[in-house]
Amino acid sequence: MSGKMAFVIVDVQNDFCPGGALGVAGGDRVIAPINRVARLFAEAGLPVFVSRDWHPPETGHFEIFGGPWPVHCVQESRGAAFHPDLELPHGSTVVSKGKDPDSDGYSAFEAFTDEGHSLGELLHRAGVHHLVIGGLATDYCVRATALEALAQGFRVTVLEDGVAGVNVKPGDSLRAMETMKAEGARFIRAHNLVIET
């Protein structure tokens, strides 16, 4: 008894991939495993949610306004677009986060559809109890999303080969993975994932 699954793809956007404003080493290597898992979910008729970092041009999240980060993922910019190799199944639901200029908005649980529905609300409505999570970045948005999901009582499986981190300090991603594990997340490689329906 593990409950209905959903796949949550976190922030696979140009700015977080190599060459982007906040490029993560190996950020584009997560795409093939994520595409594979997204296809499995679509074939099984299970929901796929896709978050995007979606900042206004002026936000306290950016260095120039006193925050921690270079300008990235500004709404409607090319850097904020999903990486062109990301294959989103038909019917996936996009949720946007980081729109509040007073919040970093790392967790996908702070993301909303254009119609204003939160990820949590949509998961609840779909009867989802188990999240499979992949995307960027391991040490920020993936971490925050996984920890919030666990705190809310979801089962959480993180795709080991479907995440990559910023590593502002060396080892940040490994520490984030240890924290997620300690809180109850499981890590699995995409080709070992078994979809339960």
Measured torsion, CA atoms of residues 115, 72, 20, 146, in degrees rounded to the nearest 10: -60
Residues 138 and 172: their CA atoms lie apart, in Å, by: 9
Least distance between ligand VGL and beta carbon 11 (Å)? 4
Q: How far apart are CA 95 and CA 97, in angstroms?
A: 7
Nearest distance in Å: CB 170, ligand VGL = 17
Q: Is 141 a catalytic site residue?
A: yes
Handedness of CA 60, 53, 23, 137 (dihedral sign): positive
Among residues 53 and 161, whose Cβ is nearest to Zn ion?
A: 53
Q: Say whether residue 110 binds ligand VGL (CB under 6 A).
A: no
Contacts with ligand VGL: how many residues (CB under 6 A)?
7
Catalytic residue among 73, 97, 104, 161: 97
Annotated active-site residue 181? The verdict is: no
Contact of residue 137 among Zn ion, ligand VGL, none (CB under 5-8 Å per partner type):
ligand VGL
Q: Is the Cβ of residue 73 or residue 122 nearer to ligand VGL in the bound state? A: 73
Q: Which of 54, 62, 69, 109 binds ligand VGL (CB under 6 A)?
A: 69
Give the C-alpha separation, 122 to 18, whole Å.
31
CB within 8 A of 195, min separation 6: which ones?
Answer: 5, 40, 41, 44, 46
145-to-19, 44, 78 alpha-carbon distances in Å: 25, 23, 24
> With CB cut-offs between 5 and 8 Å by kind, which of ligand VGL, Zn ion, none does residue 28 bind?
none
Select from 5, 50, 119, 137 the one that contacts ligand VGL (CB under 6 A).
137
Q: Which residues are catalytic?
A: 11, 97, 141
